[in-house]
Structure 1
Amino acid sequence: MAQADPSQSTGKDTGTNPAEGFGLFKVDLADHLNDSTIQRLSTLLGLKPGEIDSIKRSKTPGLEMVNLLEDRGIITPTDITDLLKMLSKLKLDGLAERIQSSFQTKTSQGKKDQNLEEKKRDLIKYSKIAYRKHYETAKPFPSMSKCSVNIIFVEGGIYYLAQEGDSMQKPDVLEPLESYNDILSSPKTKSMRKIIEADPGFGKSTLASQLVYDWCTEDPESPLKDVEILIFLQLRQLTGVNSIYTAIKNSIVPKDEDMDEACIEKILKAYKKSVVMLFDSYDEYPDKNETETDIFSIIEMKMFLDILVIILTRTLNLPPNLHPETKRIRLTGFGVAERRNYVLKAVADDVQLADRIEEQLQRNPFLRDLCQVPLFSTMVAHIAHERPEIEIFSTVTRFFTYVIACVHNHMVIKKDASTGVPAFETELAKLYRIAFDGLTQKNQQLTWENTYLVSELGQEFYDNYIKLGMLAQEVIFDISQCRYKTVARIWHKIICEFYASHHLVWILSEGASSAASSINVKETLNSINPLDLQYVYRFACGLNKSAADIIVKHLQETEEGRQFAILCMLEQEEKSDQFIQSVKDLVSSEISISKYDAILLQRSTIQVLEVASAKQIPISCVFLDLCSPRVDESGLNLILQSGLSLSILSSLQKLVIYDIGRTLTNEEFAAILSYSSQCTSLKELRFDFYDLPDTIPVGSIPSSLKSRNVKVWSNSYPDRRLNLQTGEWQLCDVWGNLPGEERFHDKSYQESLAKFNRARRK
């Protein structure tokens, strides 16, 4: 399908105005005038013989006569009465009737097109007014004043997912994009459907706001500069709205204007070549379980095939049934340069401040890794601007507890004189429950009517939280009640998860107290999807040790939960016996570290492995997925592509290193053998899809590998195993077994051996 490239579109499809309608009529009229009719009209007009002869000798005599009729005022863009009278006088009533019908059809269509053009201009005007309120009210930190998004927007890493992995032979391939504008204009991302995905806090909504800002201000550098109509919808606001036209009317068109859904439909269909749709917060879309909506039809390319549609969502919450042409773009967060750019652009034009913040982050590795997430990085930057030192944090929970405390410092909390307990403690507990109930519903509720929150929390608490920025108000249309209403939402979904985690801790504490209520605990945990609500689990584990034990045990029961169990375990600052047992359970099966894992997850996984090694807990298998490891100069660490290092793991039993298109030199291979030999419990070292040296000098093979008869082999065609005594490769089966060893297939071996020997002779 051809791509409607926003960077090249003129966006000036203006339709047909009344003058053009009259022009079409004149062409039609000329076709109706044959030689006989032209002769009779010429006579009736009193033309001289020479004038009549000139018309007849013309290549287009009908058009010549039409121009003459227009010059003499017999036909005008608004009236052809005189022409009809002339035709009637010539007894050409049938022709007069056809010409009158043509005039009415052509000119009325022109009027309709002119009206539609005016309506289109109105929709553009309404859109820019509605969007301005959105992009001018950005808040990088809850207690800060609102500002325009272009003041705080800083580009992080942006990658195009060039190939979706579906097997070990076909992993995901991420190709960098130079700028966020490449999302629209790069040939790599050419498609009518694009997904922008990222983990929580990585700036999806900020990027959406920047794109809206570029369109509204007609930024000459933006591919959107020539796009006439941008439809920007926040899907979290579309509860129960099945029609895209209803969504646009209620989100963009002022309620006192007469533009209805039918008019919006006509505009979009007439000008579809210059329309772009931007859908933010799919992961918060309340109706994402109701697939019979226009939103899903559009995403799946069952509707608006010629309109470019961009959807923003969390990485682990992609829409189902994506069209094969859909291109995926991933945001990967901030590095040192991006953190520095943000400080200088959005916090203060102060090089010393930027240097101080980076120096403190370098002394705090956990916080530095945490600041890969742009949301956390901006929080740290604004806190550091007000405080000379940044606290040392070892968990996300401690960091967020500190952030919330900083925000509360902007509000004077009244205290009971007798108890010294904050007067808002009860209200906060209610807010925790509201947040938890909203997140764990089948259709998540992330906004609440302001009257409900006031009735639950009290006017004073509500007003203070609005002033702090922890609650944000907005006006939306309630389709079920056919009215506009004021709703409030918690500033960011991660903050909502932080509040909800407090209520989860309360539930687990209550549930752990009796066997009867433990069933409710299980039901509660089953209602919390770790793929969507990982921070609810992580915060709860950091807040309460007993809750952490229950959560980690629950997560380890499922394959998808094991990854998050690692993050949850590291939220516990005190390493209890239950923590050690959780480590044992986790490392009893394969542990994967992937190139595509966030830095924080990689570091957390490594920490768990190091704990297991220090406690001499057997580590079943470590799988390094496209991490391109190399051994450092000391020979004691594997340096991963992310820059993190994996130290000697004395209890590691199996190491698998998977990479594609990488060739290991003799020196690099020998270094990995040396590192592996120091993992004293290692039984197997496997290389997947590596180009390995043909022969290995016997002297470079550590004696400890030989004495322990460690299985060193390559799981790629042909499967080969290293003879540790000779340095030669031997054909093996798909489990690394040699002839005579258990599970080796003789027939398969003989066939592979023949092919291998033929290849070597060549």
Structure 2
Amino acid sequence: MDGWTDGWRRDDGWTDRQTDIVSFLWTSAIDLWEHFFCIGVNSSKNMDRPTEIPDKVLQSLAGKLTDEWLDLARYLNIPEGKLYDTKTDNMGHVREAKYNMLLWWKRKNGKQATNNILAQALLKANRVDLKEELLNDPPTPATTPTSTPTPTPASALVENGYGQFLLKLESLLTRQHSYILATAFGYAKDMVLCIRNSDTPSRLLIQEMNERGDVSPTDISKLITALGHDNVAVKIKEIFELYGKFYEQFLLTLESVLTNREAVSLAKYFGYPCEKIDSIRKSDKPSWLLVQMMGERDDISPTDSSKLIRALKHDSVRLGDVAFKVNEAFTLLQKKSQFVKELRMKYKNLCWGILPVPFLRDKYNIDELFVESGIQFLEDKKQGDGEGKEKWKAIKDHKMIFTDPRINSKRRIIDGEPGYGKSTLALQITHDWCQEIPPMKALEILILLRLRQFRKVSNIFAAIKTFLLPRDSKLTTTDIKSILDSSSTAVLLDGYDEYPGRGKNETDIEYIIRGDMFQNHDVVLMTRTSCLPQDLSYDTKRIRLTGFDDTVRSTYIRQVVTRDNMEKAEEINQLLTRNPAAADLCKVPMFCVMISHMAQRQTFEDLETVTKLFKSVIACFHSHELRRAEINIRQSKGKQDHSKLDKTAFEALKRDSQKITLDETEFREKIGDDLYNEYVGIGILREEEVFDDDDFDYKTETRFFHKLFAEWYAAHYLANKVAQLKVESGSMHNKQEKAPGTSQWQFENNERVNLLSSLDPQDVHYTYRFACGLNRDAALDIIKHLGTNGTYHEYTLLCILEWMTKWNGRLETIEDTVSELCSRGLDIGDTNSILLQKCTVDLIKFASSRKIPMYMVRHFNCLDVGCSGNLRVKPSDMSLPVMDTLRWLEIYEYGRVMTEKETESMLQYSAMCVCLEKVQFSVCLLPRYIKVTY
């Protein structure tokens, strides 16, 4: 393909001829100096001048600096405000930010910006290698001509070197070249637009450069620097690779539709020499050779196929059907290029300016914010342990989702609990595609859709146009379908748990999930674990996010929170170590983000429950807003009374009518303008513009910053309402007849049961946990309600944990619920939090002491044998009590080879459980025999 790219030229972007332009400029500069001017250099004078660091040295340095560039900026005394502005102005282009930072330092300090000062700063930033490189290769002293040439009349210049140079430069620069150069020179916005819209943009640019002295008969260094400027280089690379990738496909298509005879006919039409035509006729690949020649002779280019179309339609060729195919392919090429360009602009906005904690107002690029957390995939039975059992296996990083052959499929589901980083992962994958980082580099198109936005749009192609393309995009839904059909495409569907059409079979999203649409595209669906689709394609692969471990947590704190300030990072980690409850909550990425950022500004010694944590987070939202701007008394009062917001959140989360995104006007009517404005201002409520199919217009919708915030306010309503109904019911007697299968508590508290049943605990279990931490009386009813349903075993334990920790609750108060849980079985696993393991062990101790029968206890990868031979639960390291009333003990240890001592200790423990009827070891290898001591 190299032969075809030599003559590329286009009106809307840079080409690979950038090298030719720079080479021409250098050659022209040398000729001008040699032929027209006397260049005298006073060597002794130059040696006396202070050395100035050339921009090229700074540019090279920017390319070699890594994360320590922020420290370097501080050692160079660059203000934090300027550093922030530099990062913001160069969002998505880290190298450009580094270069502009160094350039600003050089211009600000003038003669004081010496290589020695820069070298000392590099030493402090722990880049000794760059310091030595700078000092070993110091910048060359600047030289100045000793005499000024006599100006040459313009008419003479045109006939001589400099005029010829300008004419050649004008012919090389396209409209896009001129526009990018004008931007790089920092011209006023009006002038940049004038150049872009001019009939002769390159001529106008050259005229402006002459007037401003950016190019002159004695100096073209500024122009050469601009052509090598990182910002220009990035644009060159983006446009070149974008066109190059799709143009190559077009040329392959053209080659495939041309026969040998047609190739010869076209060569004759274009007037190629006889020897060229003969070579085409005799070639094994005549169409290939013809296409190569057309590229070399500029008979076809990435922006112009008109010559070829005219040739195909000419009477001497008469290939109208081929002309139609070629024109169609070329049009598709242009539309695909435009589509990718518009997608990348949209994704650039999504991936930059992220607020991990809105009240801090600190914005991050997704690449700065993202850290690899735990990821596992569900191994197929046929790939598993030979016993036909599925099991979860860890993978190294998010890139393996697309490269690991064990999860290779056109359909993947990534699930996780609330706050586990599903949307963050989606943005990182999107960023990888935009930056062409493997393996996403291999994809031509990546589509990222947030399913919560599908309330008023049902067609998938209309959704892509509405949510991802600019309003004035000329691409139609038909164009989008054609582009996707002809491209290697991946589709990320984020937030199935918030999808308004969830469970409705006749929607495009459901068709895609089932494999009835986009069968040749890679589709990744992201959802909460409790909201997995029921009707899946047969080859769907399951992937889950498991949160932060201690290592990942430390990495996040160092990389994002303290910006590589090791001393501050260690201080925060020590605070977490002293508070195991907070450290346990940090296993949930969203909680880790909140706690670690809060730790820089306040203590969190008492954050031992999710309720206390979230209460502190909400307080931070309000306190930061009060410091940031003056809030009137009426708004402050609204902050204290959010009962209308509580009810709105509760109604939005109901299982039969879940609707967590509302029209702005509807939201305002429900909670009032004052409260609405306050909560939008502090970031708890978010506004976003969406397209309404019914009205065929854009409108503003409002949602909570995260679904967990909706659950927080819904919990206030639930807790208060349950407590209120409990008081109102008093000693009233229910005269209705008790229905079969209804517990006595459910029968006597029918109204509260209906209220508690209106939410789905599997979908919004944090609502119940928050409510248990907000109201003691409501907590007892919630625990009893969840305990009567065998499906909600884990959520019941979490609510018991919240109640016991917050209110010092005693298990004797809920003995009936404990009996209900024990009758169905208890699970302890290595994925449980330390607090949940502690709660489960306490419950087992209580059941044994009260002689409550326990049907089954299952241990998943969590049993260890202590020094004294007793069994301990990992990672909490709690001793496992003897279970006198247990009937069935199951021990799952995936892939573990049990030693003789371990097996003996476990069997000895089993012998002490006097009511035990069955011990079962699963997915582990036992020793061939053990010694029995009588």
TM range (shorter): 0.7 to 0.9
* 1:125 equivalent among 341, 346, 368: 341
Post-superposition offset of 1:654: 3.3
Post-superposition offset of 1:501: 0.7
Post-superposition offset of 1:430: 0.9
Distance in 2 (alpha carbons) for counterparts of 1:167 and 1:481 = 56
Match of 1:656 in 2: 889
Match of 2:392 in 1: 174
Kindly indicate whether residue 878 of structure 2 is the aligned counterpart of residue 645 of structure 1. Answer: yes
Match of 1:672 in 2: 906
- What one-letter code is carried by the residue in structure 2 that aligns with 1:12? K
Contact 2:662–2:703 (Cα < 8 Å) also in 1: yes
Report the 3-state secondary structure (helix = DSSP H, G, I; strand = E; otherwise coil) of the residue aligned with 1:485: strand
Kindly indicate whether residue 587 of structure 2 is the aligned counterpart of residue 372 of structure 1. Answer: yes
Match of 2:142 in 1: none
Report the 3-state secondary structure (helix = DSSP H, G, I; strand = E; otherwise coil) of the residue aligned with 1:311: strand
Distance in 2 (alpha carbons) for counterparts of 1:465 and 1:164 = 49
- What one-letter code is carried by the residue in structure 1 that aligns with 2:606? I
Distance in 2 (alpha carbons) for counterparts of 1:19 and 1:191 = 28
* 1:361 equivalent among 561, 569, 576: 576
Match of 2:532 in 1: 318
Contact 2:309–2:326 (Cα < 8 Å) also in 1: no
- What one-letter code is carried by the residue in structure 1 that aligns with 2:872? L
Match of 1:266 in 2: 482
* 1:134 equivalent among 350, 356, 380: 350
Q: State the percentage of identical aligned residues.
A: 31
* 1:450 equivalent among 664, 667, 670: 664
Compared CA separation, residues 246 and 665, structure 1 to 2 (3 A): same
Distance in 1 (alpha carbons) for counterparts of 2:846 and 2:381 = 34
Distance in 1 (alpha carbons) for counterparts of 2:669 and 2:687 = 16
Q: Deviations over 1:293-344 (max 9, x none)?
A: 1112112221222211111111222122222222222111111111111111
Match of 2:30 in 1: none
Distance in 2 (alpha carbons) for counterparts of 1:553 and 1:564 = 12
- After superposition, residues 560-709 of structure 1 pair within 5 angstroms as 560-572=791-803, 573-576=807-810, 577-597=812-832, 601-613=836-848, 615-627=849-861, 629-640=863-874, 642=875, 644-649=877-882, 651-654=884-887, 656-659=889-892, 661-676=895-910, 682-684=915-917, 686-689=919-922, 691-692=925-926, 696-699=930-933
Compared CA separation, residues 225 and 683, structure 1 to 2 (3 A): closer
Compared CA separation, residues 242 and 664, structure 1 to 2 (3 A): same
Contact 1:196–1:204 (Cα < 8 Å) also in 2: yes
Distance in 1 (alpha carbons) for counterparts of 2:395 and 2:703 = 33
Post-superposition offset of 1:619: 4.7
Distance in 2 (alpha carbons) for counterparts of 1:258 and 1:31 = 37
- After superposition, residues 421-460 of structure 1 pair within 5 angstroms as 423-424=637-638, 428-460=642-674
Q: Deviations over 1:220-268 (max 9, x none)?
A: xx31123221111001111143321111111112222232211111111
Distance in 2 (alpha carbons) for counterparts of 1:31 and 1:673 = 86
Match of 1:307 in 2: 521
- What one-letter code is carried by the residue in structure 2 that aligns with 1:393? L
Compared CA separation, residues 319 and 29, structure 1 to 2 (3 A): same
Compared CA separation, residues 598 and 307, structure 1 to 2 (3 A): farther
TM-score (norm 2): 0.63
Contact 1:11–1:227 (Cα < 8 Å) also in 2: no
- After superposition, residues 502-521 of structure 1 pair within 5 angstroms as 502-512=716-726, 513-514=728-729, 518-521=749-752
Contact 1:18–1:110 (Cα < 8 Å) also in 2: no
Distance in 2 (alpha carbons) for counterparts of 1:696 and 1:22 = 73
Q: Deviations over 1:608-654 (max 9, x none)?
A: 324434x53425144234325222113444234x4543432454433
Kindly indicate whether residue 465 of structure 2 is the aligned counterpart of residue 249 of structure 1. Answer: yes
- When the two structures are aligned, how many residues end up with a matched partner? 645
Compared CA separation, residues 170 and 201, structure 1 to 2 (3 A): farther
Unpaired segments of 5 or more residues in structure 2?
Answer: 1-241, 300-305, 735-747
Q: Deviations over 1:502-544 (max 9, x none)?
A: 1111221233323689544333322211111111111111211
Report the 3-state secondary structure (helix = DSSP H, G, I; strand = E; otherwise coil) of the residue aligned with 2:637: coil
- After superposition, residues 139-218 of structure 1 pair within 5 angstroms as 139-145=355-361, 146-163=363-380, 169-218=387-436
- After superposition, residues 395-406 of structure 1 pair within 5 angstroms as 395-406=609-620
Q: Deviations over 1:148-191 (max 9, x none)?
A: 22221111111222136999954432222111111112222211
- What one-letter code is carried by the residue in structure 2 that aligns with 1:225? K
Distance in 1 (alpha carbons) for counterparts of 2:636 and 2:255 = 76
Distance in 2 (alpha carbons) for counterparts of 1:564 and 1:78 = 68
Compared CA separation, residues 478 and 518, structure 1 to 2 (3 A): farther
Distance in 2 (alpha carbons) for counterparts of 1:646 and 1:682 = 20
Match of 1:558 in 2: 789
Contact 1:212–1:232 (Cα < 8 Å) also in 2: yes
Contact 1:283–1:314 (Cα < 8 Å) also in 2: yes
Distance in 2 (alpha carbons) for counterparts of 1:595 and 1:656 = 17
Post-superposition offset of 1:496: 1.2
- What one-letter code is carried by the residue in structure 2 that aligns with 1:538? R
Contact 2:457–2:692 (Cα < 8 Å) also in 1: no
Post-superposition offset of 1:143: 0.7
Distance in 1 (alpha carbons) for counterparts of 2:420 and 2:555 = 16
Report the 3-state secondary structure (helix = DSSP H, G, I; strand = E; otherwise coil) of the residue aligned with 2:850: coil
Contact 2:829–2:862 (Cα < 8 Å) also in 1: no
Distance in 2 (alpha carbons) for counterparts of 1:226 and 1:30 = 32
- After superposition, residues 728-739 of structure 1 pair within 5 angstroms as none
Structure with bigger helix share is 2
Compared CA separation, residues 164 and 579, structure 1 to 2 (3 A): farther
Distance in 1 (alpha carbons) for counterparts of 2:886 and 2:386 = 22
Distance in 1 (alpha carbons) for counterparts of 2:760 and 2:472 = 42
- What one-letter code is carried by the residue in structure 2 that aligns with 1:539? F
Post-superposition offset of 1:14: 4.3
Match of 2:44 in 1: none
Distance in 2 (alpha carbons) for counterparts of 1:379 and 1:671 = 42
Distance in 2 (alpha carbons) for counterparts of 1:30 and 1:338 = 60
Post-superposition offset of 1:661: 5.0
Contact 1:566–1:608 (Cα < 8 Å) also in 2: no
Compared CA separation, residues 115 and 591, structure 1 to 2 (3 A): same
Distance in 1 (alpha carbons) for counterparts of 2:254 and 2:583 = 66
- What one-letter code is carried by the residue in structure 1 that aligns with 2:600? H
- What one-letter code is carried by the residue in structure 1 that aligns with 2:374? G
- What one-letter code is carried by the residue in structure 2 that aligns with 1:237? Q
Distance in 1 (alpha carbons) for counterparts of 2:402 and 2:258 = 41
Contact 2:454–2:463 (Cα < 8 Å) also in 1: yes
* 1:110 equivalent among 326, 351, 356: 326
Contact 1:19–1:77 (Cα < 8 Å) also in 2: no
- What one-letter code is carried by the residue in structure 2 that aligns with 1:350? N
Report the 3-state secondary structure (helix = DSSP H, G, I; strand = E; otherwise coil) of the residue aligned with 2:802: coil
- After superposition, residues 740-759 of structure 1 pair within 5 angstroms as none
- What one-letter code is carried by the residue in structure 2 that aligns with 1:127? L
TM-score (norm 1): 0.76
Which one has more relative contact order, counting CA pairs under 8 Å at least 6 apart? 1
Report the 3-state secondary structure (helix = DSSP H, G, I; strand = E; otherwise coil) of the residue aligned with 2:515: coil
Distance in 2 (alpha carbons) for counterparts of 1:532 and 1:23 = 53
- What one-letter code is carried by the residue in structure 2 that aligns with 1:559? G
Kindly indicate whether residue 455 of structure 2 is the aligned counterpart of residue 239 of structure 1. Answer: yes
Distance in 1 (alpha carbons) for counterparts of 2:698 and 2:523 = 27
Compared CA separation, residues 24 and 635, structure 1 to 2 (3 A): closer
Distance in 2 (alpha carbons) for counterparts of 1:416 and 1:24 = 72
Match of 1:465 in 2: 679
* 2:512 equivalent among 286, 298, 323: 298
Q: Which moved more, 1:511-520 or 1:476-485?
A: 511-520
Distance in 1 (alpha carbons) for counterparts of 2:531 and 2:828 = 21
